């Protein structure tokens, strides 16, 4: 049980990536802990190291996909309504209607903001799709008088329709979609995602950004939502202030695992790419923000990728890292109430006792007797597993003389406890 808590960090000026942790003394154990955490946050961004995608996995390297696009008009016979949709999906080659890559990919249905279109959210599809997700953007209700109820129904319809597509041999998405489906949205679309998620057994996760109250009420709909939910807010959002919108939505959610992330100095429109209508509206109540658009989106993406991997791909270790990032980031405040059992726990208080470090040939490893009979895994800096063994003794020696020089991560897993350390292999 993760207790409901509100954590506030005093630093409100540093909006760079968590790489700032390098200011700690390099040779202390505290630095090694922080370096490891930093690696998770930085390498998720697709840099060549990719440690965070592998450090808790004994499987093969994660694949990065190109982005395909398809424009489809679906027909909802119940409402006699056409729903034009832009779909972005994992492909071997980027482009229009390129074949979908081999796999079964979770689906996200994304609701746009008021007077905004799908193309204001390229930042999301370029970030998420390469990690193995399909994103669908209905292009309905983009006018000056949107119907929130119908928009919510559009999101709900697409969540079901995409599961029909994967069973249709004539569809581009035949046999390509996983059953796991999430609803996602920004501003008005965030509120509409609540309407679509209410009492909806076909979805598995809810994510929204600066969600705004709708008619009918998104706040009221929240009480009928039980799936894992992640709400992003901007501290300085004057269009849909958290106190009047997302805070109440969060409190009203009936989900067994819900998190609200408040980005320090974050605004309303910066969750999306530049949009004239959104920026014009926000300029009347907040002429300038003490954060840049890339900074706000970087904070968002760091946490979003981890949470999606947990909620839609079943990666419980990603949830462990997600929570570790919540607790250590100086860029956010957060609320969380999760009743999830059986999740691995990264024990930050206990490092593996390994020596010498740096090591030339023989690495000694000491495990307290109460912790033996666990699995020791060694990963290199590109996340490849180079060693794995059951540890049955308290004192162990590993011959790594044949390993290339460089940095390695050691992870020891016993039950629900994960301990770690970093070693450096050198020549004489």
Per-residue pLDDT of 190-214, as tens digits, reads 999 999 999 999 999 999 999 999 9
pLDDT at residue 420 in the model: 74
The confidence score (pLDDT) of residue 300 equals 96
pLDDT at 341: 46
Region 175-179: mean pLDDT is 96
The tokens describing 326, both together, are 């919540």
Pair 230, 307: CB distance under 8 Å: yes
**pLDDT tens-digit series, residues 361-382:** 999 988 888 888 888 888 765 4
C-alpha triplet 223, 226, 228: angle, nearest 5°: 125
Q: Where in the chain is the domain with CATH 3.40.50.1820?
A: 51-338
| pLDDT > 80? residue 46 | no
Residue 165 CA to residue 173 CA, distance in Å, equals 6
| Whether the predicted model's global pTM rises above the 0.75 cut | no
pLDDT value for 353? 80
Higher pLDDT, 48 or 33: 33
Q: How far is CA 167 from CA 84, 143, 158, 320, in A?
A: 20, 33, 14, 34
pLDDT digits 0-9 by tens, 282-329? 988 887 889 999 999 999 999 999 999 999 998 877 888 888 889 888
Please give the class, per CATH, of domain 51-338: alpha beta
Domain with CATH 2.60.40.3080 in the chain: 344-428
What SS3 state is found at 386?
Answer: strand
Of 175-179, 223-227, 275-279, the one with minimum mean pLDDT is 275-279
What mean pLDDT is reported for the chain? 83
Does pLDDT of 24 surpass 60? no
pLDDT at 380: 66
- Beta strands in 45-172, from DSSP E residues, in sequence order: 66-76, 81-91, 95-96, 105-111, 134-138
Percent share of the chain, pLDDT over 70: 80
Instruction: Tell me 224's DSSP state.
Output: G
Q: Phi/psi at 159 (nearest 5 deg)?
A: -60, -40
Coil, strand, or helix at residue 177? strand
Residue recorded with tokens 């020791």: 376
Q: What is the pLDDT of residue 404?
A: 87
The answer, yes or no, to whether residue 3 has pLDDT greater than 60, is: no
pLDDT at 416: 62
CA separation (Å) from 326 to 37, 211, 321, 351? 11, 20, 9, 21
What is the dotted CATH code of the domain comprising 344-428?
2.60.40.3080
DSSP 3-state of 314 = coil
Rg (CA), the chain: 23
Specify which of 21-25, 370-374, 394-398, 405-409 reaches the highest per-range mean pLDDT. Answer: 394-398
Q: What integer pLDDT is reported at residue 62 of this predicted model?
A: 55
């Amino acid at each position: 049980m993760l207790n409901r808590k509100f954590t506030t960090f005093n630093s409100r000026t540093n909006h760079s990536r968590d790489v700032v942790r390098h200011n700690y003394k390099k040779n202390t154990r505290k630095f090694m802990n922080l370096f490891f955490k930093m690696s998770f946050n930085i390498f998720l961004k697709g840099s060549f190291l990719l440690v965070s995608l592998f450090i808790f996995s004994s499987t093969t390297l994660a694949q990065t996909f190109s982005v395909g696009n398809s424009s489809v008009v679906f027909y909802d016979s119940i409402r006699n309504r056409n729903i034009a949709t832009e779909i972005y999906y994992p492909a071997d080659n980027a482009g229009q209607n390129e074949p979908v890559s081999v796999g079964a990919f979770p689906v996200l249905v994304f609701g746009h903001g008021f007077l905004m279109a799908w193309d204001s959210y390229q930042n999301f599809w370029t970030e998420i799709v390469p990690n193995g997700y399909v994103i669908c953007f209905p292009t309905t209700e983009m006018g000056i008088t949107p119907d929130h109820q119908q928009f919510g129904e559009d999101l709900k319809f697409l969540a079901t329709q995409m599961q029909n597509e994967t069973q249709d041999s004539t569809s581009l998405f035949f046999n390509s979609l996983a059953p796991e489906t999430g609803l996602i949205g920004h501003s008005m679309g965030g509120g509409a995602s609540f309407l679509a998620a209410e009492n909806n057994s076909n979805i598995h996760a809810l994510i929204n950004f600066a969600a705004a109250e709708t008619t009918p009420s998104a706040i009221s709909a929240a009480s009928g939502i039980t799936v894992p939910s992640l709400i992003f807010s901007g501290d300085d959002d004057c269009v849909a202030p958290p106190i009047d919108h997302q805070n109440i939505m969060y409190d009203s959610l009936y989900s067994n695992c819900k998190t609200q992330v408040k980005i320090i100095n974050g605004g309303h429109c910066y969750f999306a790419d530049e949009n004239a209508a959104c920026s014009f509206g926000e300029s009347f109540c907040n002429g300038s923000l003490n954060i840049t658009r890339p900074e706000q989106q970087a904070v968002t993406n760091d946490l979003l990728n981890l949470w999606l991997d947990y909620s839609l791909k079943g990666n419980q270790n990603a949830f462990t890292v997600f929570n570790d990032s919540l607790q250590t980031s100086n860029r956010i405040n957060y609320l969380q109430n999760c009743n999830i059992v059986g999740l691995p726990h990264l024990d930050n208080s206990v490092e593996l006792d390994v020596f010498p470090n740096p090591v030339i040939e023989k690495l000694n490893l000491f495990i307290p007797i109460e912790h033996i009979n666990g699995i020791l895994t060694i990963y290199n800096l590109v996340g490849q597993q180079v060693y794995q063994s059951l540890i049955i003794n308290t004192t162990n020696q590993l011959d790594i003389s044949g390993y290339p020089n460089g940095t390695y991560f050691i992870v020891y897993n016993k039950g629900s406890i994960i301990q770690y350390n970093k070693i450096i292999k050198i020549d004489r």
